[in-house]
Amino acid sequence: MDDIIYLNNAATTWPKPGPVMQAVEESLRLPYYEEGRSSVPGQTDYLSLTRDALARFFRAGPPEHFVFTQNATDSLNVAIQGFVKRQDRPIHVVTTDLEHNSVLRPLRTLEAGKKISLTIVPSTDGRVSVDAIRQAVREETGMVVMTHGSNVLGTVQDIGSIGAFLKDRGIFFCVDAAQTAGQIPIDLSTVPVDALAFTGHKALFGLPGIGGLYLADPEQVDPIRQGGTGVNSKYPLQTPEMPMKFEVGTPNHPGIVSLLAGIRFVESVGIGEAARSTMATTRVLIDAIRSQPGILLYTKDPDLPVVLFNIEGMHCNTVSRILGRGYGVITRPGLHCAPLIHQRIPGGEESVRASLSYLNTEEECRKAAEYILEVAGSVDKKIEFA
């Protein structure tokens, strides 16, 4: 796969680091450790080790307040629906126009069922200020749900200031950290959030199908799923103990192992260094296509490794297809599941996204930029690409 330049890391990172692949392979050699269900000599309790690693990584605890889920979408559903389920009357919820459908659709479904009323705060230059949130909040506001980092514009939100404001008002704060967990430091010992939804398969370098949810106070959220937990089996309802309150059925064990190895990989690089290096690489691509004829660049100075652009005179689907099939440069075209913010990007209602991970190189970015400019130069020439 040497000929692939993979720039679709905001969707899922590839390749996975060697230690992640090795850890998954090694873990499959023995039956997995089942808390309270079985034990085999020599087994490793990856579930506990990973919860400990998450508590260390995000500087929050106790480890049992970290719940394994399928992905960020699943975590957001568990937090959003579970918080609303706990209320005895409809509440007002505030969100933003930067959100992914993993936030918008659960909220709109609850709104359609008259369980919540919804205010969507518009961003300014990709950011939502604490003042904008303050203006949207009402007496009956029970929850604010917002993304930490935009997967479209690559902007990072000031969740520290917003969290502090909401904490004073006693409003539940649910943060979607799908694009930031593993990419930039998140220190929950200083940032007051009630729920942090994250995913394992993006900048944390785990496998697809593993995610997590941190709940500061699990009492604030009702479980939306019920089933076997391996403990407290005589209790007729979902057991209230953490983390089993929110974890039912057989877990994604290879995914959990990959998450642990991914966290250790990021820690071994140092998250500050990973962020610095990835952004330096991203700037090589941005600088090479910025101000070039035919290129409409929407992310000139992002906080995250996201490069959003179009080529004048060519649909983004065509651009992405040509880059992929003609040059082996993997990007993603379209709305990126965040339809509201796209409506506010002049000319970028649909666009191509190139997104990087720590494992991309400057050389890859130089080549990708060369190919993008070549495609832009071909627009009027009717060149056929295979």
Q: How far is the CB of 150 from ligand PLP (least distance, A)?
A: 7
**Concatenated DSSP letters for 262-309?**
HHHHHHHH-HHHHHHHHHHHHHHHHHHHTT-TTEEES-SS-SSSEEEE
Nearer to ligand PLP, 110 or 156 (CB): 156
Task: List contacts with ligand PLP (CB under 6 A).
Answer: 10-11, 71-73, 100, 102, 147, 151, 176, 178-179, 199, 211, 337
Nearer to ligand PLP, 253 or 336 (CB): 336
Q: How far is the CB of 373 from ligand PLP (least distance, A)?
A: 27
**Do 172 and 194 meet the contact criterion of CB atoms below 8 Å apart?**
yes
C-alpha to C-alpha distance for 199 and 197, rounded to whole angstroms: 7
Nearer to ligand PLP, 73 or 360 (CB): 73
The DSSP code for 229 is -
Helix (H, G, I), strand (E, B) or coil at 143: strand
Q: Report the 10 Å Cβ neighbour count for 244.
A: 21
Nearer to ligand PLP, 197 or 257 (CB): 197
Nearer to ligand PLP, 13 or 238 (CB): 13
Q: How far is the CB of 337 from ligand PLP (least distance, A)?
A: 6
Q: How far is the CB of 193 from ligand PLP (least distance, A)?
A: 15
Helix (H, G, I), strand (E, B) or coil at 147: strand
**Do 355 and 9 meet the contact criterion of CB atoms below 8 Å apart?**
yes
**Do 180 and 155 meet the contact criterion of CB atoms below 8 Å apart?**
no
Nearer to ligand PLP, 102 or 123 (CB): 102
Q: How far is the CB of 72 from ligand PLP (least distance, A)?
A: 4
Nearer to ligand PLP, 83 or 327 (CB): 83
Q: How far is the CB of 76 from ligand PLP (least distance, A)?
A: 7
Q: How many residues does the chain have?
A: 386
C-alpha to C-alpha distance for 135 and 217, rounded to whole angstroms: 26
Both tokens assigned to 301: 């100075």
Q: How far is the CB of 198 from ligand PLP (least distance, A)?
A: 8
Sequence-distant (≥ 6) Cβ neighbours of residue 235 within 8 angstroms: none
Nearer to ligand PLP, 126 or 211 (CB): 211
Q: How far is the CB of 219 from ligand PLP (least distance, A)?
A: 25
Which among 134, 46, 126 is positioned nearest to 341, based on CA atoms?
126
Sequence-distant (≥ 6) Cβ neighbours of residue 289 within 8 angstroms: 295, 297, 307, 309, 369, 372, 373
Based on its alpha-carbon atoms, the radius of gyration of the chain, rounded to whole angstroms, reads 22
